[in-house]
Structure 1
Amino acid sequence: MIGIDNTIAQQPFHDLQVEQLVKNPSMEILSVSLAKGALFPKHSSPKDVHLFVLEGCIDFYIENQIINLTSQQHFSFSKNVEHWVLANEDAKLLIIR
């Protein structure tokens, strides 16, 4: 069966929005939407992470570094590392872990 999902396109820019797109024993995919100035608070992931910036610009805070990421960039990091995100403009992210 073929299924099309428009969650990412329809996800609003209102503070922090997180939608789980896929979850199975081996993988989870999350769609994150951040309005300009919104904060994804400090947390860590139970698995290694691939983060893709689909739209916008964010500051990614990890291991005493600030990494500026913009549209169409990819960033990977290890599990159990505390990090947080600040949106410099409306942004949409895809997280695969």
Structure 2
Amino acid sequence: MYQVNNTIQSQSFNKLQVEKIAKNDNLEVLSISLEKDFIFPEHTSSRDALLILLEGDINFNINEENYRLKKHQELSFPKHEKHWVKANENSKFLIIR
């Protein structure tokens, strides 16, 4: 009935890796890993979202503003806003939307 997974822990730092951890009608959780100096290209989210940085250091760019996030920090952002992410070191984060 219950299952423990190691998806986040085993996710490699190879450019950009995206794993869907959970999804239902109301919620989606993505685990994302970014290799140092790699950029997650500009895109939008279909829902309002929360980014939680699990490890590393990233620059989150939205509306021509840069937000630097470090381990254990979080940032909320609205749907349909163009944004992109750059890893300053190997980084892993969750997107909850």
Taking structure 1 as the reference length, the TM-score comes to 0.99
Gaps of 5+ in 2: none
Q: Could you say which residue in structure 2 is the equivalent of 1:7? A: 7
Q: What residue identity is the alignment partner of 2:90?
A: D
Deviation of 1:51 (Å): 0.3
Q: What residue identity is the alignment partner of 2:48?
A: D
Report the Cα distance in structure 2 between the residues aligned to 1:38 and 1:17, rounded to whole angstroms. Answer: 11
Q: What residue identity is the alignment partner of 1:21?
A: I
Give the RMSD, CA atoms, in angstroms. Answer: 0.4
Report the Cα distance in structure 2 between the residues aligned to 1:75 and 1:67, rounded to whole angstroms. Answer: 9
Alignment of 1:1-97 (within 5 A): 1-97=1-97
Deviation of 1:2 (Å): 1.2
Report the Cα distance in structure 2 between the residues aligned to 1:51 and 1:59, rounded to whole angstroms. Answer: 12
Identity over the aligned pairs, expressed in percent? Answer: 47
> 4+ runs of 1 displaced by more than 3 Å?
none
Report the Cα distance in structure 1 between the residues aligned to 2:22 and 2:39, rounded to whole angstroms. Answer: 23
Deviation of 1:74 (Å): 0.7
Report the Cα distance in structure 1 between the residues aligned to 2:60 and 2:73, rounded to whole angstroms. Answer: 12
Cα deviations by residue, 1:23-73 (Å, 9 ceiling, x for unpaired): 111000000000101110000001000000000000000011010000000
Gaps of 5+ in 1: none
Q: What residue identity is the alignment partner of 1:86?
A: K
Q: What residue identity is the alignment partner of 1:33?
A: S
Report the Cα distance in structure 2 between the residues aligned to 1:5 and 1:12, rounded to whole angstroms. Answer: 15
